[in-house]
Chain A
Amino acid sequence: EVLLVESGGALVQPGRSLRLSCLGSGFTFRDYALTWVRQAPGKGLEWVSLIRSKVYGATTEYAASVKGRFSISRDDSKSIAYLQMNSLKIEDTGVYYCTRDVVRHTSSTSMFDCWGQGTLVTVSS
Chain B
Amino acid sequence: DIQMTQSPSSLSASLGDRVTITCRASQSISTNLNWYKQSPGKAPKLLIYGTSILDSGVPSTFSGSGSGTEFTLTISSLQPEDFATYYCQQSHTNARSFGQGTKLEIQ
A and B part of one assembly: yes
Residues of chain A whose beta carbon lies under 8 Å from any beta carbon of chain B: 35, 37, 44-47, 50, 61-64, 97, 104, 106-113, 115-118
Do B87 and A111 touch (CB < 8 A)? Answer: no
Write the chain B residue with the least CB distance to A110. Answer: B91
Q: With A and B bound together, what is the CA distance between A106 and B52 in angstroms?
A: 11
State how many angstroms separate the Cβ of A51 from the closest Cβ of chain B: 12
Is B81 among interface residues, defined by CB-CB distance under 8 A? no
State how many angstroms separate the Cβ of A89 from the closest Cβ of chain B: 19
Is B7 among interface residues, defined by CB-CB distance under 8 A? no
Residues of B in contact (CB 8 Å), total 27
10 extra interface residue pairs, beta carbon distance < 8 Å, beyond A45-B38, A111-B50, A113-B49: A37-B44, A44-B87, A45-B101, A50-B94, A61-B95, A62-B95, A63-B95, A109-B31, A112-B44, A113-B46
Do B31 and A46 touch (CB < 8 A)? Answer: no
Write the chain B residue with the least CB distance to A107. Answer: B50
Do A109 and B94 touch (CB < 8 A)? Answer: no
SS of A interface (majority): strand
State how many angstroms separate the Cβ of A98 from the closest Cβ of chain B: 10
Do B101 and A47 touch (CB < 8 A)? Answer: no
State how many angstroms separate the Cβ of B71 from the closest Cβ of chain A: 12
Is B72 among interface residues, defined by CB-CB distance under 8 A? no
Q: With A and B bound together, what is the CA distance between A86 and B25 in angstroms?
A: 31
Q: With A and B bound together, what is the CA distance between A117 and B31 in angstroms?
A: 28
Do B36 and A112 touch (CB < 8 A)? Answer: yes
Residue of A37, A106, A111, A117 contacting most chain B CB atoms (<10 Å): A111
Do B45 and A115 touch (CB < 8 A)? Answer: yes
> Given A44-B87, A44-B101, A61-B95, are A112 and B50 also a contact pair (CB < 8 Å)?
no
Residues of A within 8 A of B91 (CB): 109-111
Residues of B within 8 A of A117 (CB): 43
Residues of B within 8 A of A46 (CB): 98
Pick the residue among B32, B38, B55, B95 that contacts A109 (CB under 8 A).
B32
B 36-78 binary contact with A (CB < 8 Å = 1; else 0): 1010000111100111010100000000000000000000000
